[in-house]
Structure formats: C-alpha cells, structure tokens
Structure 1
Amino acid sequence: MELILEIIMIPAVLATIKILVIILMFAMPLGTVLTLMERKWSAMIQDRVGPNRANIGKFTGHGALHLAADGLKSIFKEDTMPKGADGFLYFIAPFFGLIAGVATFAIIPLAGPIGDFTFQVTDIEPGLLFIFAITSLSVYGAVLAGTSSNSKFALLGGTRASAQMISYEVFMGLALMGIFMVYGTTRVSGIVDGQNEYWFGSLIPMWGVFTQPLGFVLFFTALVAETKRAPFDA
C-alpha cells in the first residue's frame, strides 16, 4: 500500500491521475449536462416541450435519457470521408477543438485541496495567457476541416469560422485586462482567491462580475461569438 502511494505521489503520475479525474468526472459530464440544459431552456423560451422521447418504459427523466441516446447514436454512426479529401488532416481537425476545450481545465482549481491533493493539474503564473494560447488551437481545427475536405463550400465555411474566432479572441483578451488590474495577477488560483474578499463588510463579494460588470458583458458576448451560438451562428 505504501508503495502504491509513493507511486501515486510521483509528479508525473499524480498529474496524469488529475487529468483523468478532471476529464472523466467533470469536463465531459459538464458538457453533457449543459447540452441538456440548453435544449430544455431553449424549448421553454420557444414554448416547446423539448427532448422527451427517449424513455425506459414510462420513465423519461425529463429528457435526461437523451444524453445516453445521443451518445450511443454518435458511437454507432458511420465514419465517412468526402471523396478526394486529405485523410490525415480531415481526421485530426476535430481533435484541435477537443484539446482546446479540455486542456483549459488543467489550470482551473475546481475545488479546495484535500490534504496534499489539489483539484488542479498545475498552477502556473501566466494562467489566463495559457488559456488564450490553448483556445487559439480551435482556429486550426476550423481551418483544417475546411481545407482538407476538398469542398469549396467547406473551405468558405472554415475560413469564415476561423476569421470570426480570431476576431473575437482579441476582443475577449481586451475584456479581461480589467481582471488583471483588479486582482494583480494572471494566475487563475490568485484570481479565485481574490474573489473571496468582500465590499462593505460582507455585503457584496468581489467577484469579477461585480468588479468589472462592463468587462463581463463584453467577455460574455465574445464567448457566445467564439462558440458560434445564436445570434452569431448565421
């Protein structure tokens, strides 16, 4: 048992365990839950029922079973490739989007430490700069997907998507400059710790949304545009 603990505490092994825990137990479940929430909320806004067809007998789980149904559907879908496409680039293009979405969780403290174990893969000083660098990889995914498919329409779509993503990345970075000045650091853990303080005694927490309300609106707008959600999906 002591040998196992010693092996686990090796930095490389511990970092690998943290990555697996964060990806399998937080990042991926969070994506599926947010997808269901978006579908249900958009249905409520549009006066629709929303996802409710997947069921086990009479149990529908208010649409929760659609998460499993959609997962099984994706697993058993046929993997096709357009004629004349560059096979290698065509298949690696989606991984740039996956890496950009998952790698950012490596520097986000998901919870407080339990003993010597921290729910953060690494705590680096240029934390937010690392996030900008990693998320910029998703641009390559859009470009490669468009250029490798041997289709002029896909090329135009990929070019437009990459141009939109690059444009709003600059916008997003400028919106966060106020956060750097308020908390005095780009380390994510330092920014999180800075939000534990309060204004006016314990009345208003010093969250980023309160210290930089205009920056929050600008950042949220850029975030919606980056992910190509409505009204930026046209």
Structure 2
Amino acid sequence: MSPELVGLAYWAETSIKLGIALAVIPTASLILVYLFLFKMMAFMQSRLGPNDTGPYGSLQLIAEAVKFLQKEDINPAAADRRVFRLAPVVVLASTFLLYVVLPMGPDAVVEALDTGIFYAMAVSSLSVLGILMAGWASANKYALLGGLRAAGQLIAYELPLILAVMGVVIQADSLNLQTIVEAQASGEIFGIGWIGNPFILTQFAGFLIFMISAQAELTQTPFDMPVAETELVGGFHIEYTGFRFLLFFMAEFGTAFAFAALASVMFLGGWWIPGFAIDAPILNVLGPGVMLGKILLVSMLIFWVRFTYPRLREDQLQKFAWKVLIPLALANIVLTGIFKVVF
C-alpha cells in the first residue's frame, strides 16, 4: 500500500513488501509441491503419496527441507568453487525479482512498474546465467551438457513467450500489469460487461503459446532435457547437495508459481472480482485469495502436462519453437493489431 494510506516511511513500506515477497517464494514452493507433486501425481498414478508426516502428509516437504539442510555441502575437487556456490543464488534471485511486480490487489503490489511486463520477461531470463554457471563450474560433463541444453532451450522459448505477451500489451495499451488487470475489468465481450473482458477469450492463442513456452522455460516435462535423468543423470545440478540443491528446487517451483501468476494477471483478469469497482479497497483483502485460486488452476495445467507427456528429443524441441510457436505468435500479433485498429 502507499505511504499515504498507512502512514509509513518509504523505507519501512519497502522493507515490509520485500519481506513479504521473500516469504512468498518458499510458501509458493510448499503449496505447489504438496498439492501437485505429492498429491495430484499420486492420484494420477493410483497411489497414496506421502501421508504419514503431518495431517495427510502436509508436513512431508518440511521434513524433506530439514533433511537437505542437514546434508553435507560438497564441492567437487575440480570445480570452480566461487562460481559453483554462486550459481543457485543467481537462479533463486531471478525468481525473487519476478515477485516484485506481481499484483495481488489494487494496492497490494511491491512496485507497480509502468514497464512491468518488460521487467518480468527480462528478469526471468536471468536464470539461464545461473544454470550455465552451475553446468560449467561443476567440472562434470553431464552437468555441462545439461547447462548447454538449458541455454539453447531457454533462448529458443523466450521468443514465443515474449511474442505471446505482445498480444496482451497491444490489447491493453500498456506494459503495466495493474493496467492490464484494469483493462480486462473495464472491458466488454459481445456487449456483456459484468464479467469484463478476460483476455483469454480474445487472446486464447496467446495464452496457449505462453503456457507452452512457460513449460519449456521451467524445464518441465515434456521439455525437461536439461535435467533428463535417463540421459544426463540429473543435468546441470547433478553435483549439488544439501541446501544448494534446495535452492534450485525452491527456484523451480517458485518460478512455476510466478509464471502461473503472470498468466492469471494477463489472461484471467488477475485479482479483480466481477461486480466490484476496480479500486475497491476490499479487493486488497479478497484479491489475493482470488489470485491464489487462479494461480492454482493454471499451475494444475502445468503439472498435468508434466505428468502426462513423454520427453521430446532435442531436435523436436527446437523445431517446435522455431517452426510452430514463433510463426503462430507472430500471426497472433498481426491479427490482434488488425482487430485493434478495426474495432
């Protein structure tokens, strides 16, 4: 919230917001891992999943985290130790920076940047630096191959990811995530205004391209070549143990949560609730709950695909990005521009 509303100094308000953002990442990882990696996957495979530690196994992940913290922090003898230790921090920092611009209500955002989408796309691409650092510094051929695969994959799929976002930017006339929510709340579809105009109705192709590209950016199956256990026995983080491996694990699921939040804001109306004024103060209370519901819905799609489809080959992955997704994304931008001018 703004200092005028709560009477706090700028530094105090910013410290509170950053503290909340820091707390959200492990919390988001806990939610996604428990609901989808433990329970949903177990249900799809007709088994119980973890159910002994805490009610319905709800404390299992905390037990796993304690286990990792107790493990020895091993550095390979031939590794570049400084780069090796810094790599997971770079990856996690990329995830943390995404949460700075994610809005959860009219005032519930760390920083409502005018270039919020541009900022989010830029900082999300920083993770590839940490992955390359991990692969190269590990002094392990499998880790290096995983890092190179990740670099090629992330560079290829960042293009359709950004192009898919452009359709939303054109339709909303803004790069600001809050303004994009407001554009959906104040819009109409087929003359109906009470539900606004969630861009998933007019940008469904963009939504599909964004979700496929996000799946690849997250290195989730069927795009998990950088960590392919059957080929690279773990990929770029094969040499990591203890809390450093835990940082990679948190970054993976924290980023999944952030991408689901971005999809919710850009295509599902974000925190706005039909029937409420866009600036209603009550949305600062109800909005986070609405956003969480939409994030879990989008996350379910991400993990459903992960648990369903087999891994692609490297050449199939690259062809799919360059020959299918990018042309479709460009066509979506052209059509969006035409409809924007005509209507």
Same fold (TM over 0.5): yes
What's the % identity of the aligned pairs?
30
Q: Aligned match of 1:105 in 74, 99, 118?
A: 99
Q: 1:25-40, aligned counterparts within 5 Å?
A: 26-39=24-37, 40=39
In the alignment, what sits opposite 2:216? Answer: 225
Which 4+ residue blocks in structure 1 deviate beyond 6 angstroms? none
What secondary structure does 1:164 align onto?
A: helix
Q: Find the partner of 1:176 among 165, 180, 184.
A: 165
Q: Deviations over 1:162-218 (max 9, x none)?
A: 111111111100111110111110011111112213423246442232221010011
TM-score between the two structures when normalised by the length of structure 2: 0.60
Matches within 5 A, 1:30-109: 30-39=28-37, 40-54=39-53, 60-109=54-103
User: How far apart are the structure 1 equivalents of 2:56 and 2:213?
Assistant: 32
Q: Which amino acid aligns with 1:226?
A: E
1:13 is the counterpart of 2:17: no
1:154 CA displacement: 1.1
Between stretches 10-19 and 179-188, larger displacement belongs to 10-19
- More displaced, 86-95 or 64-73? 64-73
Which shows bigger deviation, 97-106 or 214-223?
97-106
Measured against aligned partners, the alpha-carbon deviations of 1:129-174 in whole angstroms (never above 9, x if no partner) come to: 1011111110001100011111122111111111111111111001
Secondary structure (helix, strand or coil) at the match of 1:106 reads coil
- In 2: Cα distance, 1:165 partner to 1:83 partner: 29
Structure 2: give runs of 5+ residues left out of the alignment: 226-343
Aligned to 2:143: 154
Cα distance between partner residues in 1 of 2:169 and 2:106: 22
Q: C-alpha displacement at 1:226, in angstroms? A: 0.8
> What is the alpha-carbon distance in structure 2 between the residues aligned to residue 166 and residue 93 of structure 1?
18
In structure 2, relative to structure 1, the CA distance for the partners of 1:70 and 1:136 (3 Å cut) is same
Q: How many aligned residue pairs are there?
A: 217
Tell me the TM-score normalised to structure 1 length: 0.87
CA distance in 1, matches of 2:67, 2:18: 27
Equivalent residues of 1:178, 1:212 under 8 A apart: yes
- Contact 1:36 / 1:67 at 8 angstroms: preserved in 2? yes
Give the alignment partner of residue 120 of structure 2, picking from 131, 144, 147.
131
Matched, 1:214 2:205: yes
Question: What is the CA deviation profile of residues 92-126 of structure 1, one whole-angstrom value per residue up to 9, with x for unaligned ones?
Answer: 1011211111111111112233xxxxx22212111
Residues 182 and 211, structure 1, Cα contact 8 Å, conserved in 2: no
Instruction: Give the whole-Å Cα distance in 2 for the aligned partners of 1:206 and 1:35.
Output: 32
Cα–Cα, structure 1 residues 135 and 121, in superposed 2: closer, same or farther, change >3 Å?
same
Give the Cα separation in 2 of the matches to 1:13 and 1:215. 39
> SS in structure 1 opposite 2:99?
helix
Deviation (angstroms), 1:28: 2.3
Partner of residue 287, structure 2 = none
